[in-house]
């Protein structure tokens, strides 16, 4: 089995920790991580480098037990994983509950603030916004951007409004002009092409844990790039719903074998409190 080129080892690591460590107050042995990642097509050196980088970035904590090194979550990485868990299992890929509300964010930054402008646009896109016009971005529903704006130090340069479109506005056309729908649809279609065969295939018990890791990481990457636009204004053949059914179906088939494999392969120890 080989990992998809677009699935970075750090993304796989976060998914793995979300499955095996989040909410359990445990740390996992580095050798166990290396074993599972090798089954997912990630080499030992890449896995070790990823663990080290994530410790340096405050996403992981180290805990030594004898001659073995174990890794656990930090408060920051736990928050990231909880957000991903909500997105995967609660929010979902299809927005049927849209109430007609839009969040509009306007900004005006000095011409020399190129880095701040880039950072703001990147975080807005990550939060589901699209560029309606140059300095005016829009997202479906009520999106709280206060933390985002505060983090970037741009509160005095940003204005946020809630609005409803006028009756004469062609919302479908506006969506097509504002977001890259073909690119997003292609991601869902590629996911279906890769994973639909596994709705009926018999999983290999030795590969089930790594395969579930790849499945969840790819799915989370797609839905985190999806602004969850109102489904009634999307093309009739929009593939997100079928892709979500495939994700849930394959996940259900893999999970009994993957959980049994995890119990067999993973060395876990309780988290020790940090010394005062």
Domain boundaries, the chain: 1-96+179-276, 101-164
Domain covering 1-96+179-276, topology: Arc Repressor Mutant, subunit A (1.10.10)
Q: What pLDDT score was predicted for residue 276?
A: 46
Check residue 6 and give its pLDDT.
54
Q: Domain spanning 101-164 has what CATH number?
A: 3.30.70
Least Cα distance to 100 among 165, 176, 160, 145 occurs for 165
Task: Give the pTM.
Answer: 0.89
Q: Identical fold at 1-96+179-276 and 101-164?
A: no
* Residue with the two structure tokens 């092409």: 193
Q: pLDDT tens digits, the chain, 276 residues: what are they?
A: 444 445 789 999 999 999 999 999 999 999 999 999 999 999 999 999 999 999 999 999 999 999 999 999 999 999 989 988 998 998 889 998 899 999 999 999 999 999 999 999 999 998 899 999 989 999 999 999 998 899 899 999 999 999 999 999 999 999 999 999 999 999 999 999 999 999 999 888 989 999 999 999 999 999 988 999 999 999 999 999 999 999 999 999 999 999 999 999 999 999 987 654
Bridge partners, 163 (sequence order):
102
CB atoms under 10 Å from CB of 120, counted, come to: 23
């Amino acid at each position: 089995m080989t990992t998809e080129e677009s699935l970075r080892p750090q993304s796989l690591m976060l998914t793995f920790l979300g499955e095996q460590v989040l909410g359990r107050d445990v740390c996992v042995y580095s050798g166990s991580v290396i074993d599972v990642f090798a089954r997912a097509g990630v080499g030992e050196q890449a896995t070790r480098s990823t663990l080290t980088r994530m410790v340096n970035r405050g996403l992981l904590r180290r805990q030594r037990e004898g001659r073995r090194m174990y890794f656990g979550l930090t408060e920051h990485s736990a928050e990231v994983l909880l957000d991903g868990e909500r997105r995967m299992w609660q929010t979902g890929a299809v927005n049927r509950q849209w109430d007609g509300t839009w969040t509009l964010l306007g900004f005006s930054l000095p011409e020399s603030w190129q880095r701040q402008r880039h950072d703001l646009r990147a975080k807005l896109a990550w939060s589901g916004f699209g560029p309606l016009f140059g300095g005016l971005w829009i997202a479906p529903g009520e999106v709280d951007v206060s933390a985002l704006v505060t983090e970037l130090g741009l509160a005095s340069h940003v204005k946020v409004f809630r609005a409803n479109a006028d009756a004469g506005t062609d919302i479908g056309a506006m969506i097509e002009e504002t977001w890259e729908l073909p690119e997003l649809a292609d991601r869902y279609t590629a996911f279906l092409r890769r994973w639909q065969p596994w709705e009926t295939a018999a999983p290999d018990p030795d590969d089930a844990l790594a395969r579930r890791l790849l499945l969840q990481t790819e799915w989370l990457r797609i839905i985190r790039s999806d602004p969850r636009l109102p489904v009634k204004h999307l093309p009739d053949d929009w593939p997100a719903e079928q892709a979500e059914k495939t994700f849930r179906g394959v996940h259900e088939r893999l999970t009994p074998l993957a959980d049994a494999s995890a119990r067999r392969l993973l060395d876990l120890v309780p988290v020790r409190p940090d010394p005062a």
